[in-house]
C-alpha cells in the first residue's frame, strides 16, 4: 500500500472456518465498528460479507486467517474486488490466555494486525502452475506413504506366516515380494490359510496400484516442471520432485517473495538470532515449510555426492572443524541464494503464458 490517507477507511478482519466465517470491521483508530457473526462459505456469503463491510466505510485492506485453506475462496474474491489481502496467523497463546478466545476476538485480532502493519505475508494467488504442482505433490506424498505402509503390512504378515509360504514369498526386493504375493491362488485348508492368502494378494494388488499411480504422477511432474521450471530443472541436483516442491512453496505470485531472505525464511533455512548478554550466536530455524526444507536437503545431498565445487567446499569447511550437519545447513542457504532468481524467472514466464 502506498501509505496515503484514505477517507473513512475501515479494515476487515476475518476468522475462517470450514462452514462459516466471522467478520469484524475496525476503523483507522482501532475501534470496533461492526461484527458479522456468521456467513456461509460460498460466493454469496463472501459477497454479503464484503457488502456489509463496505457499508461501514472504505475497505481497502483485509486480514484473513488461513488464506491457503478455509479462507482461500474468500481471499480470491476479495482480490477480485480490489481489496488488499494479508495472511494473518492465529493470535499467540499468551494473548489468548489473557484475553480469552472467541471467533469475533480472532477476527478483531486479524484486523488489528493489518492496522498495526505487523501483517506482512502476501497470500498465494493459487491460480497457476505452482498450485497445480502443489496438488500433485500432495497426492504423491500420500501415495508414497500408503505404499510404504502397504509393503510393511505385507511383510509383517509374511513374518508370522507358515514356513513354506514365508520361504517361498519372502524376498529382499519389494517388487519381487509383491509379485509373488500377487500370484497367490486361493488357498485350500483352514480358514486361517485361506484368509492369509487372500490378504497377501489384496495387499500386493494395492501396492501395485499405488506404484502405477506414483508412476503417472511422476510423469506429470516431469512434464510440468520441464515446461514451467526450465531454469530450475537445468540446475545440477534439481529433479522433478524437488523443483515442483520449491515452485509450489513459492506460489504463483512471485512478488510475494521480496528477496532471497524471504525464500530462505519460507523454507526454514535462515539463521535466527539467539544472542543474550555477551553471547552472540544464531540458532537453526525450525519453522518454515518442511517439504521445501527437505527438498533443499535432497539437492544438497546430490551436490555433496557428485558436484566437484560442492565437494571442495565441504572439504574446506570440514577442515575448519564444522560438523556434517552444520555444513549441510550452510549449503541449503547457499542453494536458496542460487535458486531464488531462477524460481522468480520461471514463475514470471509461467504467469505470462497462463
Q: What is the pLDDT of residue 354?
A: 59
Domain shared by 106 and 67, yes or no: yes
Domain shared by 254 and 307, yes or no: yes
pTM score, whole prediction = 0.77
Q: What is the pLDDT of residue 3?
A: 47
In a domain, 75, yes or no: yes
In a domain, 2, yes or no: no
CB atoms within 10 A of CB 323: 10
Which of 40-44, 146-150, 271-275, 322-326 has the lowest average pLDDT?
271-275
In a domain, 37, yes or no: yes
What is the average pLDDT score of the chain? 88
174-218 residue pLDDT tens:
999 999 999 988 767 788 888 999 999 999 999 999 999 999 999
- Tell me the percentage of the chain whose pLDDT exceeds 70: 90
162-171 residue pLDDT tens:
888 899 999 9
Model confidence at 116: pLDDT above 60? yes
- Residue finishing a domain among 177, 200, 228: 228
- Residue finishing a domain among 93, 116, 139: 116
Model confidence at 300: pLDDT above 90? yes
In a domain, 121, yes or no: no
Rounded Cα–Cα distance for residues 301 and 295 (Å): 10
Rounded Cα–Cα distance for residues 188 and 155 (Å): 22
Model confidence at 2: pLDDT above 60? no
In a domain, 47, yes or no: yes
Domain shared by 31 and 99, yes or no: yes
> Confidence class of residue 282 from pLDDT cuts 50, 70 and 90?
low
In a domain, 248, yes or no: yes
> Confidence class of residue 93 from pLDDT cuts 50, 70 and 90?
low
244-267 residue pLDDT tens:
999 998 887 777 788 888 888 888
Domain shared by 111 and 143, yes or no: no
In a domain, 123, yes or no: no
Domain shared by 103 and 216, yes or no: no
Highest mean pLDDT among 117-131, 161-175, 274-288: 161-175
> Confidence class of residue 289 from pLDDT cuts 50, 70 and 90?
confident
- Residue finishing a domain among 63, 89, 116: 116
Domain shared by 241 and 340, yes or no: yes
Q: What is the pLDDT of residue 283?
A: 67
Residue-wise burial string across 227-236, b where 16 or more C-beta atoms lie within 10 A, e elsewhere: ebbebbbebe
Domain shared by 248 and 203, yes or no: no
Domain shared by 252 and 165, yes or no: no
Domain shared by 223 and 236, yes or no: no
Domain shared by 290 and 327, yes or no: yes
In a domain, 22, yes or no: yes
Domain shared by 245 and 173, yes or no: no
Q: What is the pLDDT of residue 271?
A: 75
Q: Check: CB of residue 22 under 8 Å from CB of residue 15.
A: yes
User: What Å distances lie between residue 268 and 27, 131, 134, 287, CA to CA?
Assistant: 35, 20, 18, 5
Q: What is the pLDDT of residue 274?
A: 65
Where is pLDDT greater, at 85 or 187? 85
Q: Please give the residue range of the domain that contains residue 176.
A: 129-228
Q: What is the pLDDT of residue 94?
A: 56
What total number of domains does the chain contain?
A: 3
Average pLDDT of span 47-61 = 94
Domain shared by 260 and 221, yes or no: no
Amino acid at each position: 500500500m502506498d501509505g496515503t490517507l484514505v477517507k473513512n477507511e475501515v479494515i476487515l478482519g476475518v476468522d475462517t472456518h470450514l462452514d462459516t466465517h466471522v467478520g469484524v470491521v475496525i476503523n483507522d483508530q482501532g475501534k470496533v465498528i461492526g461484527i458479522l457473526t456468521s456467513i456461509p462459505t460460498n460466493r454469496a456469503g463472501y459477497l454479503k460479507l464484503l457488502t456489509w463491510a463496505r457499508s461501514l466505510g472504505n475497505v481497502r485492506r483485509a486480514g484473513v486467517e488461513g488464506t491457503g485453506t478455509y479462507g482461500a475462496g474468500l481471499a480470491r474474491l476479495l482480490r477480485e474486488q480490489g481489496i488488499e489481502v494479508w495472511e494473518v496467523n492465529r493470535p499467540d497463546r499468551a494473548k489468548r490466555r489473557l484475553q480469552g478466545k472467541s471467533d469475533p476476538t480472532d477476527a478483531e485480532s486479524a484486523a488489528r494486525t493489518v492496522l498495526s502493519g505487523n501483517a506482512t505475508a502476501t497470500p498465494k494467488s493459487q491460480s497457476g502452475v505452482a498450485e497445480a504442482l502443489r496438488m500433485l505433490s500432495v497426492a504423491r506424498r500420500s501415495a508414497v506413504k500408503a505404499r510404504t505402509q502397504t509393503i510393511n503390512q505385507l511383510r509383517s504378515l509374511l513374518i508370522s506366516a507358515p514356513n513354506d509360504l514365508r520361504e517361498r514369498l519372502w524376498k529382499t526386493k519389494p517388487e519381487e515380494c509383491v509379485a509373488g504375493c500377487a500370484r497367490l491362488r486361493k488357498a485350500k485348508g483352514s480358514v486361517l490359510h485361506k484368509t492369509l492368502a487372500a490378504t497377501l494378494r489384496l495387499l500386493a494388488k494395492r501396492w501395485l496400484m499405488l506404484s502405477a499411480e506414483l508412476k503417472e504422477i511422476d510423469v506429470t511432474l516431469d512434464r510440468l516442471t520441464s515446461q514451467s521450471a526450465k531454469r530450475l530443472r537445468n540446475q545440477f541436483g534439481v529433479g522433478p520432485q524437488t523443483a515442483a516442491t520449491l515452485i509450489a512453496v513459492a506460489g504463483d505470485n512471485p512478488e510475494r517473495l521480496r528477496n532471497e531472505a524471504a525464500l530462505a525464511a519460507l523454507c526454514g533455512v535462515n539463521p535466527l538470532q539467539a544472542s543474550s548478554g555477551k553471547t552472540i550466536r544464531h540458532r537453526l530455524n525450525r519453522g518454515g515449510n518442511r517439504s521445501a526444507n527437505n527438498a533443499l536437503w535432497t539437492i544438497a545431498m546430490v551436490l555433496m555426492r557428485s558436484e566437484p565445487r560442492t565437494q571442495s567446499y565441504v572439504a574446506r569447511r570440514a577442515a575448519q572443524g564444522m560438523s556434517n550437519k552444520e555444513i549441510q545447513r550452510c549449503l541449503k542457504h547457499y542453494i536458496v541464494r542460487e535458486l531464488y532468481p531462477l524460481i522468480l524467472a520461471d514463475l514470471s514466464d509461467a504467469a505470462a503464458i497462463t
